[in-house]
Amino acid sequence: MIPTLEWLPTGVNFLDQTKLPLEETYVLATDYKQVATVIRDMIVRGAPAIGVSAAMGVAIGIDRSTATDLPTLTAEVAVIAKTLAETRPTAVNLFWGIDEVRNLYNELAAKNTPIPEIKAAVIAKARRMYDEDIASCKQLGANGASLLPQEGTVLTHCNAGALATCGYGTALGVIRAAIEAGHKIDVLADETRPFLQGARLTAWELMKDDITTTVLCDNMAAHLMSKGRIQAVIVGADRIAANGDTANKIGTYGVSILAKEFGIPFYVAAPWSTIDIATASGDLIPIEQRAATEVTHSNGKQMTPTGVGIENPAFDVTPAKYITAIITERGVLRGPFTESIQQMNKQTAPELLPA
């Protein structure tokens, strides 16, 4: 399994995804501010991984605090949570991860639990979330495997694999599960400009698993679909609204329109924590704007005229009408998504497969 992040006695160790595929190096974050930097600079990325990273950021912040009384520590926790929450606005898992650990802290603080016990409890919670994410991805993969063709080519956009989670992956987890079940699948990976998550990351991790993978430029999908080269599309998600509208890496919306045009199923794979019941529709999802240099430069070389205007939204929102199904660890959702999401939200979460 690819070690995306890991809790160590010295801090949280992150695989530096900005250096892949040419270098496999790690960044050790020893306090919550460093965890925030790792998230903001996309050293770690992918909604599920961001969520667990944020949880570990809160936990390490509490653990490294020198506060000797609960009022002081509570004030510090508010600052820790705010710092982490300001890193990347689109992925709802970020706020979920923060809240999971902060809520536990608040419960324990309300009971006047001794600070050393609180520290041990929040660390245990964050580490448990890591294990639960892997189990969730494996269950999600098992739930979605049968949706993919027994034989054929699957297109994916961005990276929704082990690198975007604590292991196994969401969209790539479904592909892995299908192959483990005997499906004969090869993968087309959109390069995913401007950060090239498909070309750098998806291709790298699938090749590690000996899964046949071909990288294509983002503007090639329509041509290949028209030639019958693609039998299914599967992507991850950074936030899914209550009506099924889905925010994912920029370019996903266009791929969904193409899939609809050519009659190709378009699947979204994401853990239940990515579904934001409080956000009614995709119009309300905040879209992160990133630095112009991600567009103007490639490998340190300027590619555009100095002074030209640049747009660099990191995400777009795919309307629910273009989505065939949403695959979660709780089960497969189908339209109308407003009803199916509400119904599944009322159900008790199932026991997960062992991680």
Residue-number span of the structural domain to which 244 is assigned: 143-346
Q: Output the domain CATH number for residue 258.
A: 3.40.50.10470
Active-site option among 63, 238, 245, 276: 238
pLDDT per 10-residue tile (average), the chain, 355 residues:
90 97 96 98 96 98 98 98 96 96 98 98 98 96 98 98 96 98 98 97 96 97 98 98 98 98 98 97 97 93 96 98 98 98 86 57
Domain count, the chain: 2
- Residue 27 shares a structural domain with residue 117: yes
Euclidean distance between CA atoms 115 and 65, whole angstroms:
10
Known catalytic membership, residue 16: no
Domain's final residue, options 107, 138, 169:
138
State yes or no: cis peptide before 194, omega within 30 of 0: yes
The answer to whether residue 287 sits within a structural domain is: yes
Euclidean distance between CA atoms 48 and 27, whole angstroms:
19
Domain's final residue, options 83, 112, 138:
138
The model's pTM is 0.94
Q: Output the domain CATH number for residue 90.
A: 1.20.120.420
Domain's final residue, options 106, 138, 170:
138
- pLDDT, residue 351, reads 63
